[in-house]
Chains A and B, each alone.
Chain A
Amino acid sequence: MKGRIALVLIAAALMVFAGYAALYVAPDEKTMHAIQRIFYFHVPSAICSFVAFFVVFIANFAYLGTRQPKWDWLGVAGAEVGVVCSTIVLITGPIWAHPVWGIWWTWDARLTSTFVMWLLYTAYLLLRGFLDDPQRKAMFSAVFGIFAFLDVPLVYFSNRLWRTQHPQPVILGGSNSGLDPVMGKVLLISFVAVLCITAVLITDRYRLERLRSEFDELRFRAESREAERASKILHAAREARVE
């Protein structure tokens, strides 16, 4: 519990600091000016959505190997947080693109793959809602999760082969690319802040899922006990009538 409070406080402090740094410390970009500052939250959210979906993949894999429900809880926690992160990416992206590219959306490789990834993991969450048996839910969603994860690189490469418009990576993007050192530092801070929030959300969601599954089990047990008692009473009443 203490660890959780500490993590929340650290995440909150980092986020405030990152917001300040992105708005006031980072230098103005030469052509895009203020709108470029959305980059400090767009890029970290994108990376964190990948981190969250990777957590889902690990959890799915571990579930199939061990069949321990805790991996299923981690899977759903990661998928929900990942969908939230990629929703942020899909919203901040067009806000930036409209003034810079002059259009809200284009069917470019990265945009399309993020969108398809969002669809895949939303389908993962929907699938869980439609399966009732908890064990089957865990098993089938793990299989689907692995299929979805395998599909992401295929989506990316097929779109890449097809067409691309997104700005090339500025970090490790080869010659002629690069980031102002101050910008780099601000990006690093906001990345750590968003990563902390992602971690807080995943652990909280995990705990919620654990409680929910314990609650379901208790309710199931109580209901079956209730049903047993009712059938006994019914049986006794019937016998009394026969006599």
Chain B
Amino acid sequence: MTTSRAAAILLAKELRLEFRTRELLTTTVIFALVVVVLFSFAFEPTAAESRRYGPGLLWIAFLFAGSLMLNPSFAREQSNETLDALRMAPIAPFAILLGKMLANFVFLAVAEAILVPVFAVLYNVSFSGVAGRLILVLGLGTLGLVITGTVFSAISAHARMRELLLPLLLLPILTPLLIASVEATASLLAEQPELDRTWVAFLAGFDIVFLTASWLMCDYLLEE
């Protein structure tokens, strides 16, 4: 079986699992929403300030929500030792990782699709006219987040205190991604919105570097 086909089957399995319970999505969306609401109490931003701090707030909410959401990705395979079953399947180990990355991407993208309009309403920020470019930035940023996050979720699943450990491993690695995503999003919220191509290229570079690294190292990650 080709890797892409195996990954697609695993993606379907992850999605089916999630849409039966919707546990992960609900908690992620609500958690991110809580962060967004708390921010307004902490800073009471005016409309102009929202434009200035909004992108940072939005990405901090995504990063925190992502680092919580990615935890069960591998950990929930442990209760019935289903990871061993996946490992025994005649597929490339990268397919397992890729399937999970794609599933996590879908989950986080859905959460973002709900959150961005809510954010726009609550903080009086308008994304009209830049929707396509915003989707590009969100997509590239989210991809980088789930690539590193899924790999680290495979690591932290075997550790004690894994819920605490994952954000600790993930958030420092994501600092370049945070800067690039926030700057790119901010360039879309300016008076004359124009996409900052440097940061978009940087985000694409981040994704490529870590996708290649996880492709090269997935054998070690999934080995028993």
Q: Is the CB of B220 closer than 8 A to any CB of chain A?
A: yes
Q: Is the CB of B152 closer than 8 A to any CB of chain A?
A: yes
Most buried by A among B161, B172, B205, B221: B172
Q: Is the CB of B176 closer than 8 A to any CB of chain A?
A: yes
Query: Chain B: which residue is nearest A143 at the CB level?
Result: B217
Contacts of A213 in B (CB 8 A): none
Query: Chain A: which residue is nearest B152 at the CB level?
Result: A144
A132 touches B160 (CB 8 A): yes
A162 touches B183 (CB 8 A): yes
Query: Chain B: which residue is nearest A140 at the CB level?
Result: B155
A131 touches B158 (CB 8 A): yes
Contacts of A132 in B (CB 8 A): 160
Name the interface residues of B19-39: CB closer than 8 Å to any CB of A.
none
Contacts of A143 in B (CB 8 A): 151, 155, 217, 220-221
What number of A-B contacts does a CB cutoff of 8 Å give?
Answer: 77
Within the complex, what minimum Cβ distance (angstroms) separates B60 from chain A?
16
Tally A residues with Cβ within 8 Å of B: 30
Within the complex, what minimum Cβ distance (angstroms) separates A101 from chain B?
22
Q: Say whether, besides A131-B158, A131-B159, A143-B151, A116 and B175 are in contact (CB < 8 Å).
A: yes
Contacts of A142 in B (CB 8 A): 220
What sequence of 0s and 1s flags, for each residue 90-124 of chain A, a beta carbon within 8 Å of any chain B beta carbon? 00000000000000000000001000100110010
* Segment at the interface with B among A50-58, A147-155, A185-193: A147-155
What sequence of 0s and 1s flags, for each residue 148-167 of chain A, a beta carbon within 8 Å of any chain B beta carbon? 10110011011101100000
**How large, as a class, is the contact surface on chain B?**
20 to 34
A155 touches B210 (CB 8 A): no
Contacts of B199 in A (CB 8 A): 161
Q: Is the CB of B191 closer than 8 A to any CB of chain A?
A: no
Chain B interface main SS type: helix
Q: Which of A119, A140, A154 contacts B158 (CB under 8 A)? A: A140
Q: Is the CB of B142 closer than 8 A to any CB of chain A?
A: no
B198 touches A148 (CB 8 A): no
A158 touches B169 (CB 8 A): no
Q: Which of B169, B183, B209 contacts A154 (CB under 8 A)? A: B209
What sequence of 0s and 1s flags, for each residue 119-148 of chain A, a beta carbon within 8 Å of any chain B beta carbon? 110010011001111001001101110111
Q: Is the CB of B223 closer than 8 A to any CB of chain A?
A: yes
Contacts of B209 in A (CB 8 A): 150, 154
Within the complex, what minimum Cβ distance (angstroms) separates A156 from chain B?
9
Beyond known contacts A119-B172, A126-B165, A132-B160: 12 more, CB 8 A cutoff? A116-B172, A116-B175, A127-B165, A136-B158, A140-B158, A143-B220, A143-B221, A147-B210, A150-B209, A158-B176, A159-B179, A161-B198
Give 5 closest A-B pairs by Cβ, nearest first: A158-B176, A130-B159, A119-B172, A154-B176, A158-B179
